DNA sequence: ATAAATATGTAGCCTTAGATACAATTGAAT
DNA sequence: ATTCAATTGTATCTAAGGCTACATATTTAT
């Protein structure tokens, strides 16, 4: 089958296509968000566990995140290299100042997303479920809109 | 520093912790969503390109998604193994029946998410940006709520 | 004090998903 | 018919993020 010409006649065009550069930028941002998802989920979990239990242990994180302790171990090592946590062998994991700051932001955003979904009538279970993924893709502008609509419904 | 007891007194508890099983389930779903993001973005892009240009070539997908043609190649091979596309060496990529079905769902969801964000006053640019990530984490219940609110504001 | 259970660490495997560098094929221009 | 540019394919690297199996350390129970 012969390759179609790169610039087909208007008759072939069914729908207008956004310039690929813009589209590519959107996908790139989405992928970048995905790359920092892990760090955000971990620092948020570490903050929660530290608040509730006084410290965050590898096993607690593993149970909480639904992964094995091996995965937690490697990820925590990466978070330490990135400067978000401090930990020593066989010790609990504590957030650095940067980690606490990030955790605060994530916790606030997580709660806003959940509250917003709840305000739409979504059940608590599904709101928590969806928020766990959505939270990482909500820009400041969208977050602000959520907060604004929560104040004045 | 000694390890804290696993069951601290209530005095230590600062905030209530959801049972770890529920939390783990949420994170698991979020990770599963992430794993199918790629397939969804690809079939949606293939459908768009096929509609606009008559066929989807590797270079077009690469430009659209903001990755190299190598990445596209490998991913398309995986999509073919998964039964979403049909393609032969040096030929264009076409969706299978399953691929078309998935693309339809994704397109509809993508548009709903964008329209919903727009209805909150989010700018078109940011709405498109956020939707590209959010769309993959919107459950049927939440999608239905978005659609309902779009009809009767 | 010793033994058992729990927690943590390490080695090595897999998949996805990005990249560069180079090879081969194709389509179009000369 | 030949050449050339664009497209597609392949080899190889890197990193994240999941896993099992096994080793070591620590805490708890006897
Ligand atoms: Mn999350
Ligand atoms: Mn969260
Ligand atoms: Mn997307
Ligand atoms: Mn999309």
Domains of chain A with bracketed CATH: 30-99 (1.10.10.10), 104-151 (1.10.60.10)
Distance between Cα A127 and ligand 3 center (Å): 20
Dihedral pair phi/psi, residue A103, rounded to 5°: -60, -40
- Mean pLDDT score of chain A: 92
What is the Cα–Cα distance from A96 to A54, expressed in whole angstroms?
15
With CA atoms as reference, report the closest residue to A143 among B26, B120, B27. B120
- Cβ pair A142:B121 closer than 8 A: no
CA–C1' span, B23 to D20, in Å? 24
Verify if strand D has an atom below 7 Å from the CB of A108. no
**pLDDT tens digits, one per residue of A120-151:** 999 999 999 999 999 999 999 999 999 999 99
**Predicted structure pTM score:** 0.92
The residue of chain B nearest to residue A144, with distances taken between CA atoms, is B122
With CA atoms as reference, report the closest residue to A35 among B25, B63, B37. B37
**pLDDT tens digits, one per residue of B47-103:** 999 999 999 999 999 999 999 999 999 999 999 999 999 999 999 999 999 999 999
pLDDT at A15: 60
Q: How confident is the model at residue B17 (pLDDT cuts 50, 70, 90)?
A: confident
pLDDT at B20: 80
Q: Is A51 on the interface with B (CB under 8 A)?
A: yes
Phi-psi region of A115 (alpha: psi -120 to 50; beta: other; left: phi over 0): alpha
| Total residues belonging to chain A | 153
CA–C1' span, A85 to D28, in Å? 29
What is the Cα–Cα distance from B123 to A65, expressed in whole angstroms?
34
Residues 6+ apart with CB under 8 A from B74: none
Verify if strand D has an atom below 7 Å from the CB of A126. no
Q: Which ligand is nearest to the CA of B112?
A: 4
- Cβ pair A37:B34 closer than 8 A: yes
Q: Using the predicted structure, report yes or no on whether residue A12 has a pLDDT greater than 60.
A: no
Q: Using the predicted structure, report yes or no on whether residue B4 has a pLDDT greater than 80.
A: no
Q: Using the predicted structure, report yes or no on whether residue B142 has a pLDDT greater than 60.
A: yes
Q: Using the predicted structure, report yes or no on whether residue A8 has a pLDDT greater than 70.
A: no
Q: Is B1 on the interface with A (CB under 8 A)?
A: yes
Q: Using the predicted structure, report yes or no on whether residue A152 has a pLDDT greater than 80.
A: yes
With CA atoms as reference, report the closest residue to B102 among B47, B59, B21. B47
CA–C1' span, B93 to C24, in Å? 20
Verify if strand C has an atom below 7 Å from the CB of A36. no
pLDDT at A18: 77
């Amino acid at each position: 089958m012969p390759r179609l010409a790169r610039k087909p006649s208007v008759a072939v065009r069914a729908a207008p296509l956004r310039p690929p550069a813009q589209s590519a930028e959107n996908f790139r941002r989405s992928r970048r968000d995905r790359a920092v998802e892990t760090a955000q989920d971990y620092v948020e979990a570490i903050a929660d566990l530290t608040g509730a239990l006084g410290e965050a242990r590898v096993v607690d994180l593993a149970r909480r995140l639904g992964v094995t302790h091996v995965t937690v171990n490697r990820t925590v090592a990466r978070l330490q290299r990135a400067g978000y946590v401090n930990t020593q062998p066989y010790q609990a994991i504590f957030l650095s100042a940067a980690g606490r700051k990030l955790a605060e932001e994530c916790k606030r955003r997580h709660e806003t997303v959940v509250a917003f979904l709840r305000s739409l009538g979504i059940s608590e279970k599904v709101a928590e479920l969806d928020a766990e993924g959505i939270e990482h893709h909500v820009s400041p502008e969208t977050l602000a809109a959520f907060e604004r609509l929560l104040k004045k419904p």
